[in-house]
Amino acid sequence: MKVKDTNCMAVLVNKENWLHKDYQAKDLVTVKVNFVSDVLEMSQKMRKEAAGALEKLFSAAKRKKMLLYAVSGYRSYERQRELFKQNKKKDGEAANRYSARAGQSEHQTGLAMDVTCEAVDFELCEDFAGTKEYEWLRENAHRFGFVIRYPREKEEVTGYRFEPWHLRYVGKKIAKELYENELTLEEYGNK
Ligand SMILES: [Zn+2]
């Protein structure tokens, strides 16, 4: 079962399943967590349920002395279009391995957040996977309803290279199932 209902927390958005240009994520709220500096106000938003879950996740991490920082949450279709255009200018078609075209980004759903930590200078980079903060996320994100959406060695399935920083809210039940079976959202329901 692939979830195509765009209001559902487990909605599948990828290179084959596009969001309409006019799709507007509902109930966006500002997430009350630490952000890196200079984050657009719009990018500090997520859908309400996801925002609450991310706040709980950040607090739990903090109790374990893991200080996470949010970088980028909600993006409009237009904003994604601009970002992809910039990335494509730089890297050509290869940009699509790390950057989504407009309508194909989970950030448009308001259910994704990119996160980082001080040890990697607050960058979104693969080195984040070597930090204790990432290690904690890998083992605990599902307890709050999140998955590391683009895992290592699943590039063929997801269409994107490993992104240790990209968290996607899907709800606790599905997050647990994906975590325990090492599945991506693409593979969910296909086993
Ligand atoms: Zn992301």
**Using 50, 70 and 90 to split pLDDT, how confident is the model at 166?**
very high
What are the φ and ψ backbone dihedral angles of 6, each rounded to 5 degrees? -70, -10
Task: Report the predicted TM-score, pTM, of the whole model to 2 decimal places.
Answer: 0.95
pLDDT in tens, 33-51: 999 999 999 999 999 999 9
Quickly state the pLDDT bin for 5 (edges 50, 70, 90).
confident
User: What class, spelled out in words, does domain 28-181 have in CATH?
Assistant: alpha beta
Kindly give the distance from the C-alpha atom of residue 124 to the centroid of ligand 1, in angstroms, as a whole number: 9
Measured CA angle at 176 (ends 28, 147), to 5 deg: 50
Name the packing angle between helices 48-63 and 132-140 (round to 10°): 130
The sheet with strand 112-116 has its strands ordered as 69-72, 112-116, 163-169, 146-150
Task: Measure 158 CA to ligand 1 centroid, in angstroms.
Answer: 13
pLDDT tens, residue by residue, 83-128: 999 999 999 999 999 999 999 999 999 999 999 999 999 999 999 9
pLDDT band at 7 (very low <50, low <70, confident <90, very high): confident
Summarize pLDDT for 59-83 with one digit per residue, the tens: 999 999 999 999 999 999 999 999 9
**pLDDT above 60 (res 1):** no
C-alpha of residue 114 to centroid of ligand 1, in Å: 5
Determine the Cα–Cα distance for residues 116 and 127; give it in Å rounded to an integer: 10
> Is the per-residue pLDDT at 190 higher than 80?
no
Residue 107 CA to ligand 1 centre (angstroms)? 6
Q: Per-residue pLDDT for 191 more than 50?
A: no
By three-state DSSP, how is residue 120 classified?
helix
